[in-house]
């Protein structure tokens, strides 16, 4: 079984690819390049390819199909970067990865606390040897009503952590979870917007919730609301969020994901002109904490993602049940 790995990172993935290749008898061939039109041929001779978040559209899928690729395994939980309908038409299987929800849940709680307590501004001042306190007065999480949009594995894990802080928790989801009801009250989206001091997003990226946070929904929210997003960038119309922060309607934001983050996040752009005006604008806002899509980034999560990528290829090769199979 030969697997061609795109966007290979020796620094954090290397030891795990070596470990699981040996465990499942896989031959791993890799490149640091992304899957693009000019790098498709690198995967020639491999039925399986492993990718990260590079956009895989129909044209690229057709090229992979033409060189004999039968399955794409994404080392990510999300798979909205892959054209699933086109993959289905071409007969290319698609799999995602998995890791424990605690990784993102812990990071989410960190962003909540940092944003509520203005930690970004505090750290910046201290770096400048400015030890004054005006403007640093924060808010107590225990006195907030916190809204969780999406109560899947990560959303539920965040809710359980929040329960220990004594805050009131409201939840919104299409599918209610009985365990969640021990800690939170399910409400309508309108009620969540109207009553929450902080809102945290934990939804997948779908057509139905594209830009679920936008100008009109922000207008329905409480003044000085804090917005946290460790889920998917496409859930927020970022220009509307920037406008809300500048107007004072939004009191702060903790963002680990952004729409159109590709080409910026995971890149070293020191000394270069930032050509993403929205990210540049967010960096100028003192009450916004911006991190480069690292909520998942722990040793446990990287091990799990590489394991699931290799194991899903092994499952398909051996005709076994594949729990990561999407199409």
Task: Supply the DSSP string of 141-154, one letter for each residue.
Answer: GGG-EEEEE--SHH
pLDDT attached to residue 159: 98
In the three-class reduction of DSSP (H, G, I as helix; E, B as strand; rest coil), residue 254 is classed as strand
Query: Active-site residue 232, yes or no?
Result: yes
pLDDT attached to residue 302: 98
Catalytic residue among 13, 202, 293, 317: 293
The token pair at 73 is 């395994």
pLDDT attached to residue 260: 87
Per-residue pLDDT of 10-68, as tens digits, reads 999 999 999 999 999 999 999 999 999 999 999 999 999 999 989 999 999 999 999 99
Residue 209, pLDDT above cutoff 90: yes
Q: Output the pTM of the full model.
A: 0.93
Residue 157 CA, chain-centre distance (Å), reads: 15
Question: What is the average per-residue pLDDT within 80-98?
Answer: 97
N- to C-terminal Cα separation, the chain: 20
Per-residue pLDDT of 225-269, as tens digits, reads 999 999 999 999 999 999 999 999 999 999 999 998 988 998 899
Residue 223, pLDDT above cutoff 90: yes
Catalytic residue among 75, 202, 232, 316: 232
d(CA 318, CA 325): 14
Write the DSSP symbol of residue 200. Answer: E
pLDDT attached to residue 262: 81
Question: Distance of CA 148 to CAs 69, 135, 219, 293, 302, Å?
Answer: 39, 28, 18, 19, 26
pLDDT attached to residue 128: 97
Residue 208 CB partners (closer than 8 Å, separation 6+) = none
Per-residue pLDDT of 145-197, as tens digits, reads 999 999 999 999 999 999 999 999 999 999 999 999 999 999 999 999 999 99
In the chain, the domains with their CATH numbers are: 2-99+298-318 (3.40.50.720), 102-290 (3.40.50.720)
> In the beta sheet, which residues pair with residue 170?
147, 185
Catalytic residue among 13, 75, 202, 261: 261
d(CA 288, CA 78): 24
Query: Active-site residue 293, yes or no?
Result: yes
Burial 148-164, CB ≥16 within 10 A → b, else e: bbbbbbbbbbbbbbbee
């Amino acid at each position: 079984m030969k697997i061609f790995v795109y966007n290979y990172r020796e620094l954090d993935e290397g030891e795990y690819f070596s470990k699981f290749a040996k465990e499942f008898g896989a031959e791993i061939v890799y490149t640091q390049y992304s899957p693009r039109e000019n790098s498709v041929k690198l995967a020639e001779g491999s039925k399986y390819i492993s990718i990260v978040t590079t956009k895989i559209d129909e044209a690229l899928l057709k090229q992979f199909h033409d060189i004999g690729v039968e399955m794409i395994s994404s080392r990510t939980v999300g798979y909205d970067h892959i054209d699933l309908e086109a993959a289905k038409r071409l007969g290319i299987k698609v799999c995602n990865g998995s890791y424990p929800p605690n990784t993102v849940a812990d990071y989410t709680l960190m962003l909540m606390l940092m944003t509520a307590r203005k930690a970004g501004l505090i750290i910046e001042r201290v770096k400048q040897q400015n030890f004054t306190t005006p403007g640093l007065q924060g808010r107590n999480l225990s006195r907030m009503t916190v809204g969780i949009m999406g109560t899947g594995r990560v959303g539920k894990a965040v809710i359980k952590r929040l329960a220990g802080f004594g805050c009131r928790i409201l939840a919104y989801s299409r599918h209610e979870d009985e365990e969640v009801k021990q800690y939170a009250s399910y409400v309508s989206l309108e009620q969540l917007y109207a009553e929450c001091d902080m809102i945290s997003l934990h939804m997948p990226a779908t057509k139905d919730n594209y830009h679920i946070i936008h100008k009109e929904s922000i207008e329905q929210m409480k003044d000085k609301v804090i917005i946290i997003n460790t889920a998917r960038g496409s859930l927020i119309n970022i220009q509307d969020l920037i406008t809300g922060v500048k107007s004072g309607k939004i009191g702060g934001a903790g963002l680990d994901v952004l729409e159109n983050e590709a080409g910026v996040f995971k890149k070293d752009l020191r000394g270069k002109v930032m050509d993403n005006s929205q990210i540049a604008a967010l960096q100028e806002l003192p009450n916004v904490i911006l991190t480069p899509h690292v909520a998942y980034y722990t040793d446990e999560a990287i091990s799990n993602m590489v394991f699931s990528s290799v194991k899903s290829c092994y499952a398909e090769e051996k005709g076994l049940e594949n729990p990561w199979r999407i199409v």
